[in-house]
Amino acid sequence: MGLYEFLSWKDVHEASLELAEVLKGKAEVVVGVLRGGYFPAHLIADALGLEVLVVRVRSYSGVGKRGKGKVVLPLIGDVEGKRVVAVDDVCDSGSTLKLVKELISLYSPKEVLTATLYVKPTCSERPDAWARETDKWIVFPWDAFETLREDPSVKGELERVLGLRLDILGEGEGPGKP
C-alpha cells in the first residue's frame, strides 16, 4: 500500500503525547480544527490539563482532492488574551493552518501557535510543532470508512492496522482508487 500510511489509535495517541510534551507551558487553550484535528487536540488538551475549543475549516473533498479552505464553523469559545495552540491532524499545503491562524487572530489572543500530527513536504505554512513527516496519503483511524468508500482495496490493511472488522460497508462502495 505504497500510496498510503495507515495509523492506529495507538499511533495517534503516541504522536499526540509527543506534541503535548513539546507544547507544555506554551499554551493556555487548545483549538481543535474539526474534523481530524479534534482528536489530537483533545488528547493534547487532556494531557496538559487545558480547555479544548473548536473551529471547522474544510479543504478536502476526498482522498487526494484538495480544494480552497473554507470556514464552516467559526471559533467556539474565548481565546482573548490567551496563548493558543491550534491543532490539526496534517499539514498538507498549509492553507488550512494559515486560515485557522488568521481566524483565531481575529479573537484577540495573546499568541497563536500551530501544531499537527503530520507534516508533508508540500506544506508551505509549517506548523510550530509536529510529530511526524510523510509524503503519503495518511489514513487516520477516524477516516477509515471515508477511505474505504474511496478505495475499497484498502480494506484488509485498514482492518489489520485498526484491529477491527469493517464489514459495515461490505466490500466498499466508492468510485475506486484515487
Please report, to the nearest 10 degrees, the dihedral formed by the alpha carbons of residues 47, 26, 83, 77 taken in order.
Answer: -10
Residue 144, SS3?
helix
- CATH numbers and ranges of domains, the chain: 8-134 (3.40.50.2020)
Q: Chain-centre distance of CA 49, in angstroms?
A: 20
Q: Which of 92, 135, 143, 151 is catalytic?
A: 92
Q: What is the pLDDT along the chain (178 residues), one digit of tens a residue?
A: 579 999 999 999 999 999 999 999 999 999 999 989 999 999 999 999 999 999 998 765 555 555 567 788 889 899 999 999 999 999 998 988 999 999 999 999 999 999 999 999 999 989 999 999 999 999 999 999 889 888 999 999 999 999 988 876 555 454 444 4
92 is catalytic: yes
Pick the closest to residue 175 from 58, 67, 64 (CA basis). Answer: 64
Q: DSSP 3-state assignment of 56?
A: strand
| Residue 135: predicted pLDDT | 94
Across the beta sheet with 65-76, the strand order is: 65-76, 51-62, 29-34, 83-91, 111-119, 129-133
